[in-house]
Amino acid sequence: MNFKLSVASNLAETRADCLILGSFSDQQQWPESVPKELAEQLDKLRRGGDLTAKPGESIWIYHPQGLRSIRLLLIGCGENEHWNIAGYQGF
């Protein structure tokens, strides 16, 4: 298995087996790099209570709308102001 970690500024054009996107519980809107179709899909998950963005929560989305990647892994990060990388080193 090949594994490469990088930061993608254009999610819609990034080809990958899996993209990882952090989600904050106090986030009002998705970053501009998130395609509109995907943002709508993620908003539905939030409204349905499936995406709370609690720290450590994870959700797999297969064939995410608006992306060329096969999978999207959403990682809950809690509140933006309390987030830091040290809390995620155990994952």
pLDDT for residue 11: 84
Q: Across the chain, what does the average pLDDT equal?
A: 85
Q: Do residues 63 and 70 lie in contact, with contact meaning Cβ atoms separated by under 8 Å?
A: yes
Nearest to 16 by CA among 78, 63, 60, 50: 63
Tens digit of pLDDT for each residue in 67-87? 999 999 999 888 877 766 665
Q: Is the confidence at residue 32, as pLDDT, over 90?
A: no
**Sequence-separated (6 or more) residues with CB below 8 Å from residue 70:** 16, 17, 18, 62, 63
Place of tokens 């809390």: 87
